[in-house]
Structure 1
Amino acid sequence: MSGRFHIDVAAEPTEIGLVRRAVALFLRVSGWPDAAAEQVVFAVGEAVSNSVEHAFRGFAVGRVGVDLELDAAGLLVTVNDDGRWREPGHSGLRHNGLPLIRAMVDDLVVESDAAGTRAVMRIARG
């Protein structure tokens, strides 16, 4: 089974739920197993939340894009924004987004440059 999905939203907290629902629908229609889909939706939602909360602090609101590519091997997820990278902090229950995402996916690579930040996640088909 294969397929592609893309959504681009304003980096606003109100858009996070929309992204989660759209990703969940794509995975359901694509036949991705329910338990694995929940983990993907969580990881994507967390990555989008990180962009919304951190990438645009002190700047005008930008955009967050999510791309999913599904093939026989698994799922490739890319979450990108056009904001500014902030080094993650660790204070209490906050700022644990990247470790949470890493726990949900097989591989996570985060890249940042002047154009924005990109998180690439790989999830093997189970």
Structure 2
Amino acid sequence: MRGAFHQRVPADSHTPKLVSGSFQEWLNELRWPQQEMPDIVLALGEAVSNACEHAYPVGLDGVISIRVECLAGPNGTRRLILTIADTGAWRDPPARIHDRRHGMAIMRATTDFMHLDGTAAGTRIKLISRPAQLVDH
């Protein structure tokens, strides 16, 4: 089984898509079930998008740290533990838009566990996937 997925990425508008692509590649190498991938990829994408949009003021270069580990569970199942962290300070969007502000609800709906810890030193999101059986080849 391949080791942990770890990336430090810039907090910009292109990052969520790039991270999602490399995360999917890692999940394929890990033999994560295809039917289980969309939810966990979406959850990670939402966490990264939130950090890109809310952590750093416009014009300030920011970094997002992503770490994902695969842990063994009972009966041959596995879970992913995702940690997404930034060192920025939370910023609300400039205006409430009706199709926005669903990121945390999406993360909660697509994982078994979601916890957000925001401080003046940054924000850390922890996500735990639903249990899955790895695919045998």
Task: Work out whether the TM-score is over 0.5.
Answer: yes
- Corresponding residue of 1:114: 120
Instruction: Quote the offset at 1:18 in angstroms.
Output: 1.1
Structure 1 residue matching 2:69: 3-state secondary structure: strand
CA offset at residue 23 of structure 1? Answer: 0.7
Structure 1 match to 2:57 = 57
Residue number in structure 1 paired with 2:135? none
Cα distance in 2 for partners of 1:58, 1:27 equals: 32
Q: Which amino acid aligns with 1:92?
A: H
Question: Whole-Å Cα distance in 2 between the matches of residues 16 and 58 of structure 1?
Answer: 17
- C-alpha distance 70-56 of structure 1, shift in aligned 2 (>3 A): same
In the TM superposition, what whole-angstrom CA distance separates every residue of 1:4-60 from its partner, at most 9, and x where no partner exists?
Answer: 110111101112211001111111100111121111111101110011111113561
Q: CA deviation at 1:82?
A: 1.1
Kindly report which structure 2 residues correspond to 1:22-41, keeping only aligned pairs within 5 A, or say none.
22-41=22-41
Structure with max Cα Rg? 2
Question: Which whole-Å CA distance do the structure 2 matches of 1:95 and 1:61 have between them?
Answer: 23
List gaps (5 residues or longer) in structure 1: none
Question: Are 1:4 and 1:70, in contact at CA under 8 Å, matched by a contact in 2?
Answer: yes
Tell me the amino acid that sits aligned with residue 106 of structure 2. L
1:76, 1:97 → 2: CA distance? 18
Give the letter aligned to residue 93 of structure 1: D
**More deviation in 33-42 or 55-64?**
55-64
Aligned to 1:75: 80
User: Percent sequence identity over matched residues?
Assistant: 33
* Ranges in structure 2 where 5+ consecutive residues have no aligned partner: 74-78, 133-137
- State yes or no: 1:85 paired with 2:90: yes
Q: Read off the aligned partner of 1:46 and give its amino acid letter.
A: E
Provide the alpha-carbon RMSD of the alignment: 1.9
